[in-house]
């Protein structure tokens, strides 16, 4: 039996409560939206070959249960664009588009994920079908604007841990930007939970020359966690639990100080403060059980099934009693999982980051929430999920990174993800200038190096390369690095009018170059030597793991910055001794 791969628990791009109500109400036999679908929209919009007659039959039952694929519909067929693709799913027909009567499969999937994640729809993993839950029926049948409707929404939204996380952060800190919340939402140091450092947004706003450029920057520049925050805050605004209030922010990093206004910033309303009491379970406000789906416990990483299983076991272990990390380790061992205490502690911190209440007493921990909806998928055959090489490296690093924040473990994921160049550059620059004392920044634009940093009289020109199977440093990229080195020597505006070299302080007189990637393969050493021979400048290759070990040596004080730059004299890969 093949289990469908769905990603419940994290929602993007599904905003309006009115559309959510229609999606849920479609499952109520003979409701207004159900009738419109059966008698008008589906007959008109969906062809027979795309499932028209079957969809009408499924919506006509007394107990409505519909395959997920029929609800979501298909993607854009060959020969069509997203704007003219035919309607091919029930929820596509529910959602009105801007220029047509329906939307594509992506928004349909987002609204379905939302309805399932907050408990309005029940999802059967074994059959890959959706049906209405009792809470969903209560919501769908409640009159618009009624207390019953508001009550069902309150219960559903407060059962969703990320909503509780956003409310709790606003309760603790008062006024936060989307990026400040995004940096603290999701699993620590893991692909699928990226946030753009706020200083980069402020830098971009300062450099933008027109209002349009500033608007585009604020709309288009965000990480995955920032998108989740934006989506969640759209719900909370409609509920009247938060207000959107622009915030002026000043950030100093890498020798630069930036000030700017972030419009996507939020504060709790008086109503929101009362609602927050349900999250913490204060006095007469009972804590609402949290709905945690297996899928939300890891999203993008290669071994996500293994991580979801491990985290499910940890939650089950800590749901009813206080236990130490050592006891959790023994519990996991009984489940066939060998884990270190540092890994367990990172998971516990991550549980708080996704919105669970984790309480510490002495050296023991307990999850204070009642958890619903969390089940391990039954698999009768197929390989047992195993830990990836990247996760094994993270385990090693967790026991060695005692000074460097573990959120930078994400560099290991990003270094092997060919679609994440920008995030890889951002996190590398953030590690060097935010966590460490280098000055400089990510440049990462046309005809600019990805990252440039310096300390004292030493400078480093960095090229980040994210590749799935390792990086061999092709001659084209070696030539590009040679060009940057020569531009930096010449500093001639006619050679390159963007004058990227101005990132370096006037006191910098010694330069090195570096390639940073997940792993290095092939003849990269020859190309390093080629750059040295042509430019007279020494450099090195360093993988994500060794970059983090180097950062730990620097932050602990065991390595000084002068010695660090000397490591880049090797014209080879930098490998720090593993103890």
Per-residue pLDDT tens over the stretch 399-455? 999 999 999 999 999 999 988 889 999 999 999 999 999 999 999 778 999 999 999
| Mean pLDDT, rounded, for 70-89 | 89
User: Which fold is adopted by the domain 290-376?
Assistant: Arc Repressor Mutant, subunit A (1.10.10)
Per-residue pLDDT tens over the stretch 143-201? 999 999 999 999 999 999 999 999 999 999 999 999 999 999 999 999 999 999 998 88
CB atoms within 10 A of CB 312: 20
Nearest CA among 266, 263, 184, 190 for reference residue 226: 184
pTM: 0.93
Least confident of 88-97, 383-392, 432-441: 383-392
Nearest CA among 169, 231, 179 for reference residue 201: 179
Catalytic residue among 465, 469, 479, 555: 465
Asked whether the predicted pLDDT for residue 87 surpasses 50, the reply is yes
Cα separation, 423 vs 405, whole angstroms: 17
Residues near 227 by Cβ (< 8 Å), separated by ≥ 6?
A: 12, 13
Q: Note the pLDDT of residue 1.
A: 46
Q: What percent of the chain has pLDDT over 70?
A: 98
Q: Note the pLDDT of residue 3.
A: 64
How would CATH label the architecture of 408-568? 3-Layer(aba) Sandwich (3.40)
pLDDT band at 278 (very low <50, low <70, confident <90, very high): confident
Asked if the domains 160-280 and 408-568 are classified in one and the same CATH topology, the answer is no
Asked whether the predicted pLDDT for residue 377 surpasses 80, the reply is yes
Cα separation, 120 vs 132, whole angstroms: 7
Domain ranges of the chain: 17-143, 160-280, 290-376, 408-568
Residues near 29 by Cβ (< 8 Å), separated by ≥ 6?
A: 60, 61, 62, 63, 64
Does domain 17-143 correspond to CATH entry 3.90.241.10?
yes
Per-residue pLDDT tens over the stretch 491-504? 999 889 999 999 99
| Mean pLDDT, rounded, for 296-302 | 91
Query: Is 465 a residue of the active site?
Result: yes
Cα separation, 461 vs 452, whole angstroms: 5
The number of CA neighbours under 13 Å toward the Cβ of 378 is 6
More confident residue, 1 or 322: 322
Asked whether the predicted pLDDT for residue 102 surpasses 90, the reply is yes
Catalytic residue among 50, 295, 423, 463: 463
Catalytic residue among 347, 369, 450, 458: 450
Strand, helix or coil at 545? Answer: helix
Which of these CATH numbers, 3.90.850.10, 3.90.241.10, 1.25.40.10, 3.20.20.70, describes 160-280?
3.90.241.10
What rounded mean pLDDT belongs to the chain? 92
């Amino acid at each position: 039996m093949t289990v469908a791969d769905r990603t419940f628990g994290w929602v993007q791009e599904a905003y309006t409560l009115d559309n959510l109500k229609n999606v849920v109400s479609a499952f109520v036999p003979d409701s207004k939206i159900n009738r419109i679908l059966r008698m008008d929209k589906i007959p008109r919009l969906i062809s027979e070959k795309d499932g028209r007659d079957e969809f009408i039959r499924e919506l006509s039952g007394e107990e409505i249960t519909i395959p997920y694929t029929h609800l979501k519909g298909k993607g854009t067929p060959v020969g069509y664009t997203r704007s003219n693709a035919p309607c091919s799913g029930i929820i596509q027909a529910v959602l009105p588009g801007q220029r047509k009567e329906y939307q594509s499969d992506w928004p349909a999937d987002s609204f379905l994920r939302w309805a399932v994640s907050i408990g309005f729809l029940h999802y059967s993993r074994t059959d890959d079908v959706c049906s209405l839950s009792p809470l969903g029926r209560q919501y769908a049948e409640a009159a618009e604007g009624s207390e019953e409707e508001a009550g069902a929404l309150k219960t559903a939204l407060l059962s969703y841990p990320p909503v509780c996380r956003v409310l709790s952060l606003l309760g603790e800190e008062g006024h936060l930007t989307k990026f400040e919340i995004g940096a603290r939402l999701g699993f620590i140091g893991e692909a699928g939970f990226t946030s753009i450092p706020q200083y980069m947004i402020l830098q971009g706003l300062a450099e933008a020359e027109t209002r349009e450029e500033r608007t585009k920057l604020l709309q288009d520049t965000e990480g995955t966690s920032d998108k989740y925050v934006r989506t969640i805050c759209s719900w909370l605004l409609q509920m009247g639990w938060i207000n959107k209030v622009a915030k002026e922010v000043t950030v100093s990093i890498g020798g630069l100080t930036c000030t700017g206004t972030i419009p996507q910033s939020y504060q709790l309303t008086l109503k929101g403060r009362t609602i927050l009491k349900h999250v913490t379970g204060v006095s007469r406000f009972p804590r609402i059980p949290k709905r945690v789906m297996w899928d939300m416990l890891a999203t993008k990483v290669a071994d996500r099934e293994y991580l979801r299983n491990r985290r499910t076991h940890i939650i089950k272990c800590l749901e009813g009693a206080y236990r130490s990390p050592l006891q959790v380790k023994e519990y996991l061992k009984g489940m066939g999982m060998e884990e270190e205490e540092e890994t367990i502690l990172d998971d516990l911190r991550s549980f708080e980051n996704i919105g669970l209440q984790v309480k510490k007493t002495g050296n023991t921990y307990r999850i204070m929430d009642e958890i619903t909806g969390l089940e391990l998928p039954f698999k009768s055959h197929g390989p047992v999920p195993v830990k990836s090489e990247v996760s094994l490296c993270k385990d090693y690093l967790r026991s060695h990174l005692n000074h460097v924040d573990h959120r930078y473990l994400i560099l290991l994921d990003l270094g092997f993800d060919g679609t994440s160049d920008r995030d890889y550059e951002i996190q590398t620059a953030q590690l060097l200038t935010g966590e460490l004392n280098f000055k400089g920044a990510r440049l990462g634009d046309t005809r600019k190096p990805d990252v440039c940093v310096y300390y004292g009289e030493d400078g480093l020109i960095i090229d980040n390369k994210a590749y799935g199977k390792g990086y061999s440093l092709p001659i084209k990229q070696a030539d590009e690095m040679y060009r940057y080195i020569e531009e930096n020597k010449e500093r001639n505006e006619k050679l390159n009018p963007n004058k990227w070299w101005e990132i370096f302080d006037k006191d910098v007189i010694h330069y090195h170059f570096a390639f940073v990637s997940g792993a290095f393969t092939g003849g990269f050493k020859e190309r390093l030597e080629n750059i040295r021979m042509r430019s007279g400048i020494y450099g090195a290759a360093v993988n994500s793991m060794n970059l983090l070990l180097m950062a730990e040596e620097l932050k602990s004080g065991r390595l000084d910055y002068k010695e660090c730059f000397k490591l880049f004299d090797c014209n080879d890969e930098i490998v720090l001794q593993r103890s």
